[in-house]
Amino acid sequence: VPVDPIDVPLDEPAGEAPPTPEELDEAIFGPAGEDEPAEAASPISGIGITLLVTDLDRSLDFYRDLGFAEVDRGEGNAVLASGPTRLVLRRVTGAAPMSRRLVHVNLEVDDIQSAYERLRGSGVRFTYAPRVVNRGTKLEVWAAAFRDPDGHGVALTQWRTLADA
């Protein structure tokens, strides 16, 4: 359920510590029963994102400044990582411009306010400060958005569990 950002004050305190992965799983899927495994068996172990960029070195600098580490590089491409997340930057030339709505990267953080302040202090220009962008019955997502050098939408995001009503 989207939340009208006008109704959300930007100076709310950071609140409680972010939920653990187990708390998020329980909020989304309900408590695991004694006969049920706590984790669903899935072959998916993470998410990788490929971004098409016009200047590989500029994009590498930008994403390294966000906290990604370069783990590999080839002719016209680079692989960066942060935890289990992989980001592939692929240089393109002469490609038709694509809609900026096609790609939006969410970078999950434990403390959105401190991550926002750190990046803003290092020169990242945000389109909006941390605020609630989605609220369900169990979870809400806080986000602060900006654009990378090629115009891709990027957001810092933090998941929070809602108190029982």
| Of 75, 47, 49, residue with least CA distance to 148 | 49
Boundaries of domain holding 71: 18-30+48-92+100-161
- Residue 39 included in any domain: no
Token couple for 94: 């002469």
User: What's residue 129's pLDDT?
Assistant: 97
The CATH number for 70's domain is 3.10.180.10
pLDDT digits (tens, 9 = 90+) for 18-30: 566 566 555 555 5
Q: Is the pLDDT of residue 165 over 50?
A: no
Q: What is the rounded CA–CA span in Å between residue 111 and residue 16?
A: 10
What was the pLDDT predicted at 48?
Answer: 81
Q: Quick one: pLDDT at residue 164?
A: 43
Query: 145: closest CA among 126, 159, 131?
Result: 126
Report the number of distinct structural domains present in the chain: 1
**pLDDT value at 57 more than 80:** yes
Q: What count of Cα atoms within 13 Å lies in the side-chain half-sphere of residue 38?
A: 6
- The 8-class DSSP code of residue 20 comes to P
Report the predicted TM-score, pTM, of the whole model to 2 decimal places. Answer: 0.62
Name the percent of the chain lying above pLDDT 90.
Answer: 41
Average confidence (pLDDT) over 137-154: 91
pLDDT at site 137: 85
Question: Greater confidence, 41 or 93?
Answer: 93
Asked whether residue 1 is assigned to any structural domain, the reply reads no
- For 59-90, write each residue's pLDDT tens digit: 999 999 999 999 999 889 999 999 888 999 99
pLDDT number for residue 72: 92
Query: Are residues 87 and 51 in contact, defined by beta-carbon separation less than 8 angstroms?
Result: yes
Q: How confident is the model over 82-129, as pLDDT tens digits?
A: 988 899 999 988 766 666 556 778 999 999 999 999 999 999 999 999
Q: Is residue 127 part of a domain?
A: yes
In a domain, 43, yes or no: no
Inside any domain, residue 11: no
Q: What angle do CA 107, 112, 122 make, to 5 degrees?
A: 80
